[in-house]
Structure 1
Amino acid sequence: MSGSPSEHAGAVGHHFAAFDRRDWHRPVDRGPLRFAVVGVGTFAKNRALPAISTVEQTETTVFVSNTVSESDPVAREYDIEAVVGYDEFHAGAATDDYDAVYVAAPNAFHREYAESAAKHGKHVLCEKPLATSVADARSMVDACEDAGVTLMTAYRLHVEPATRRTRELVQEGYIGRPVQVHSTFATKLLDGHDDDHWRLDPSIAGGGATIDLGVYPINAIRFLLDEDPVTVQGVTNAWGSAFDRVEEHAAFQLTFPSGVVASCSTTFDGQPDSHLQLVGTDGSISIDSPYGGDVPQEVTVECGDMRMEYTGAPVDDVCEEVAYFANHVLTGRRPGPDGRDGLTDLRVVEAVYDSAENGRRVELDADD
């Protein structure tokens, strides 16, 4: 993008002037959207339930759990009168009491809960990864499409302000033509978790650092570039004794039709950190800590001699995600990160595993 440093700064500042604007919002004349939360575990208690309670157009009316009862403190806190077991949920219990489900159960169970919700005519907001395999994800997509219900993969980055403002800058050419992307996501899985944590069981998690953490940069980069990768090359390994069944570390490279190359690394045993940088022919954009639960909303834009740092107000990204989903359902629109979005990411994840196992670059065909 041509222009003086002051012109660049002014143009960038224009996008950040209303940093947290909900540009996806449409007026709603009905609601609230009533949720059945499937899997009342740590994430549901700490993030999903408070978010649903906070968003004006949503409320939780049903718990689906085999371990929580109506007398449980969390049920009393959210005034939940209908608590049904998993078998009861599949059989259609309490279907008059909810409009949509939030699937917050471990990965391997996403498919069965989403398909039962679709069978009962309920919309689905499903945590990521969408499933543990491409086959399961495709079955979920087909079930929801056949039932005419919304399926959204819970990619909070699609509605998180720093990511949305960065996408706008990329699309409008502020860094010229994107050429490279660099991203990392590292965490200490076993800090606070035992060696029997479900994420260490491939039959439940579907894999290790690639499928659990890798979907974050995969999806974020696809969203920012507005294109899907065509080749994948990856390496995985494990050193810790707890990681005898899933990979502890992963690194992979994605190439896109435009020629952009993205290099990503993830680890279950590294100094906690996340970072995303897009490098273009005329500048770069960096987002600090985009993938954690507490996003600082810090964006740095460099273009020639101009460097601009912006820190937005804190935003609860789960609240944004829930509000986005509800607004799209209540206004009859299809959300951006839908089921096919989650399906595409799993195709990339499986290609990383294929590449790591066979030591070759994997070409991705267009999905059906």
Structure 2
Amino acid sequence: MKTKLTYLIIILVLGFQQNQAQEKLKVAVVGLNHDHAHGIMNAFRNDRIQLLGIAENDPDLIARYKKDYQVPDNLFFPDTKTMLNQVTPQVVMAYNPINEHVDVAEICLPMKIPLMVEKPLATTVADAQKMAKLSRDNDTHLLTNFETTWYASNQKLKTLVGESDFGKITKMIAKDGHEGPKEIGCSKEFLAWLTDPVKNGGGAVMDFGCYGANLMTWLQNGKRPIAVTAVTKHLKPDVYPKVDDDATIMVEYDDAIGIIEASWDWSYSIKSLQVYGSESSYHAPNGKTLVKNTNPVESESISLNEEYYQDHIAYLEAVFAGKVNPENDLSSLSNNLIVVEILEAAKKSAEAGKRIEL
């Protein structure tokens, strides 16, 4: 009897372990020249995901990632098409130059393989619309990953400003950036395209302007702005000769104003969001802190006991389990089409020196 019971326990444990393994998100990666790829590779190393393949042809990058994350040779493929002809992931995650997101979409989406790209969605409205059509025609998810989506402070802030006692949003201020990609030690492969006006679509205006545009579109419940006015600067022309390193963008709505301050020239790393109503304001200076102000000297720390998803992996697991519908959230296609529209208008405004109506 004891032997049978032991055998039964072993079978149950093995069955549980097998189910756990089957539940891991099946991921294929396109590109390693975006330093955000370290996030998904850490998930692979920590056994959070099942990595089916990596499409990369840079021998130096391949060697580095093989060494750092103990990736076996058989997981590397020379290109996206070759990889997806041999493996079938639940999702492809793209860590390549922004202007190449459309190329990945043209392969994945007709194969009905969901795609998540790193922010922003695209460098141009034309590319974003092409990608959106592919997503809709093939009824396949196209999502965008922003670090600030997973900030508990931002999620709580959205809940609170939606309550009746806050009233109407009058002003939003987003400050995003750091000392500069070269200054903080980004890899040479990342820097090569991040500072390229075609591959990245711009400098700080794209790299950090997208955060504010994403959050403001969300706070406005998917409303398109009526106009955009922007100023971009080359404060460090010797370091970043080809692209802007500082951008200030004013986003006009019919009843609110958004101010986006995006820079590679901050004294330190910052991702801050402030939202003002008629009687009070909320300030999320980082992902773990939220403060309510009723006047300049009275503040109240808000408890962040409500959690969203820990990260994009947990979010994708929920999407594929049918627990969340990415309709108008921060990762959604609808939101990120507007983000690209705001960024394109900002670049046009800065170049022409005038207000651009959408």
The two structures, once aligned, show a CA RMSD in angstroms of 3.0
State the one-letter code of the partner of 2:143. M
2:341 pairs with 1:344: no
Q: Contact 1:174–1:303 (CA<8 Å) still a contact in 2? A: no
Paired residues of 1:200 and 1:243 also in contact (CA < 8 A):
yes
After superposition, give the CA deviation of every residue in 1:233-288 in whole Å (9 maximum; x if it has no partner): 1111213223322112111111113x111122111122123321111111000001
1:125 positional shift = 0.9
Q: What is residue 215 of structure 2 aligned with on the other side?
A: 220
1:61/1:80 contact within 8 Å kept: no
Q: Which residue of 2 aligns with 1:33?
A: 25
Asked if structure 2 preserves the Cα contact closer than 8 Å seen for 1:62 and 1:97, the reply is: no
Question: Could you tell me which of 193, 202, 208 is aligned with 2:203?
Answer: 208
**CA spacing shift, 1:329–1:172, aligned 2, 3 Å:** same
Secondary structure of 2:167's aligned partner: coil
Equivalent-residue separation in structure 2 for 1:99 and 1:148 (angstroms): 14
Deviations 1:142-171 (A, max 9, x none): 112222211111134334321111101001
Question: In structure 2, the residue corresponding to 1:188 is in which secondary structure?
Answer: coil
Q: How many residues align?
A: 324
1:229 to 216, 225, 231: 225
**Aligned position for 2:318:** 327
Name the % identity: 21
For 1:267, the aligned partner's letter is S
1:292 aligns to what? none
Alignment of 1:79-228 (within 5 A): 81-86=74-79, 89-91=80-82, 93-189=84-180, 190-191=182-183, 192-193=185-186, 197-226=192-221, 227-228=223-224
Give, as a single letter, the amino acid of the residue that structure 2 aligns with 1:32: K
Matches of 1:174 and 1:214, distance apart in 2: 30
Q: 1:196 deviation in Å? A: 5.9
Larger radius of gyration: 2
Q: CA deviation at 1:312?
A: 4.6
Aligned to 1:76: 70
Distance 2:44 2:162 in 1: 32
Aligned counterparts of 2:346 and 2:65: Cα–Cα separation in 1? 45
Query: Structure 1, unaligned stretches of length 5 or more?
Result: 1-27, 290-294
- Give the Cα separation in 2 of the matches to 1:100 and 1:310: 36
Which amino acid is 1:346 matched to? V
CA distance in 1, matches of 2:274, 2:191: 35
Conserved 8 A contact 1:55-1:323: no
1:275 to 1:45, Cα distance in 2 relative to 1, 3 A: closer
2:351 to 344, 357, 368: 357
**Preserved contact between residue 209 and residue 343 of structure 2 (Cα < 8 Å):** yes
Q: Name the CA distance, whole Å, in 1 between partners of 2:224 and 2:82.
A: 38
- After TM superposition, the structure 1 stretch with the greater mean CA deviation from structure 2, 324-333 or 64-73, is 64-73
Structure 1 residues 133 and 47, CA gap change in structure 2 (3 angstroms): same
d(CA) in 2 for partners of 1:316, 1:168: 11
Q: Are the equivalent residues in 2 in contact too, given 1:199–1:208 (CA < 8 A)? A: yes
Structure 1 residue 300: Cα displacement: 0.1
TM-score (norm 1): 0.79
